[in-house]
Amino acid sequence: MKKFLLRVFFFIGIIIVTVVVDVVLQKNLLFKDEDLKLPKEISILIFGHSHPANAYNTEYIQHAVNLGEPGEAYIYTYYKAKKVIENNPQIKKVFIEFTNNQIDKGMDDWLWDDVHLQYRIKSYGVLLDKEAIQLLYKKNSTGFINAFSKSLFDNIGSLFTNKKNLILKGGMGKFMPTDKIIEKPKSDSIDKKRKLLDSISAYNILYLQKLVKYCQDKKMEVCLVRSPMHKSYDVSYSESVFKTILHQNFKDVKWLDNKNFPLPDKGFQDSEHLNSFGAKVYSQYFNEQVNENSNNIRQ
């Protein structure tokens, strides 16, 4: 019995040591500082979920990199942004997508449901601090443990691969082109089938506040921006709450509202996202806003 217990403890010890070594290697090799360096002329970062990923074609925006990723909650944006900014002191401006669906209670799923944890922990788990880990574990302990365990094995193969210019290669978000065009609405009226917003994602908003404060502490110009949406997209269900949060939680933050930027139907892939044509037109306009006349950005 004693020998059996010794073998069990020895086996557990090997597992613990293996996990610790793996975590240490991932922390040091997945995001090496030299791999995160951007060209000196890059001074603008754009963050957010699928809206900016589809809206900002940086071929038409000087000095900018698009780090938007579909399905990304602000908790992951926060730690990703910190890592990028820490390694690029030339960054002067940060634009963060802030739009109606990001306050919805459903965003909690993006933070800690099983599907999102699997993907985000693999991508950015090693960047999380104790506070974030405790939160995710508290909200979905089984999902977090499974995602963390899986990431230890999934990331082994990429530990020693060449990740030079990781950001420019789209490894932390990128512009996503598409030629898809929105189906013609049955009428010009806005679809108002949505229920009024009755609850919000407090944690998603909290981590947006953390990101804004981090940028402000770094003396960078930080601005919340709402990308264009199709006229058929109904914001009435949440606009009042959205504006209240904007004015109460971000009253000292610059706000650039391009929701109603004029684009034809052929510029949208659906009611919330631009396609490549729309992104080109809008990005050229956005370039003028942020690189030529900062007065267009309203407080």
Q: Determine the Cα–Cα distance for residues 161 and 148; give it in Å rounded to an integer.
A: 21
Phi-psi region of 170 (alpha: psi -120 to 50; beta: other; left: phi over 0): left
CA pair distance 183, 124, nearest whole angstrom: 36
The kind and range of the H/E element at 93 are: strand 93-97
Q: Kind of pairing, strands 254-257 and 221-226?
A: parallel
Q: Give the pLDDT band (50/70/90) at residue 200.
A: very high
Query: What pLDDT digit, counting tens, does each position of 10-66 carry?
Result: 545 444 444 444 455 555 556 777 889 999 999 999 999 999 999 999 999 999 999
How many helices (H) does the chain have, and how many strands (E)? 10, 5
Q: How much of the chain, in percent, has pLDDT values that exceed 70? A: 81
Sequence ranges of the domains in the chain = 31-183+201-288
Which CATH code of 3.40.50.1110, 3.40.47.10, 1.50.40.10, 3.40.30.10 fits the domain covering 31-183+201-288? Answer: 3.40.50.1110
- Measured CA to CA, the distance from residue 240 to residue 247 in angstroms comes to 11
Q: Is the pLDDT of residue 244 over 80?
A: yes
> What whole-number distance in Å separates Cα of residue 259 and Cα of residue 23?
42
Q: Where are the alpha helices (DSSP H) in 185-238?
A: 202-217
Rounded CA separation 61/264 (Å): 21
pLDDT tens-digit map of 72-116: 999 999 999 999 999 999 999 999 999 999 999 999 999 999 999
Describe the chain by its helix, strand, coil percentages, rounded to 5.
Answer: 50, 10, 40
Q: In what order do the strands lie in the sheet with 221-226?
A: 64-66, 44-47, 93-97, 221-226, 254-257
φ, ψ dihedrals at 220, nearest 5°: -100, 155
Q: What is the pTM of this model?
A: 0.88
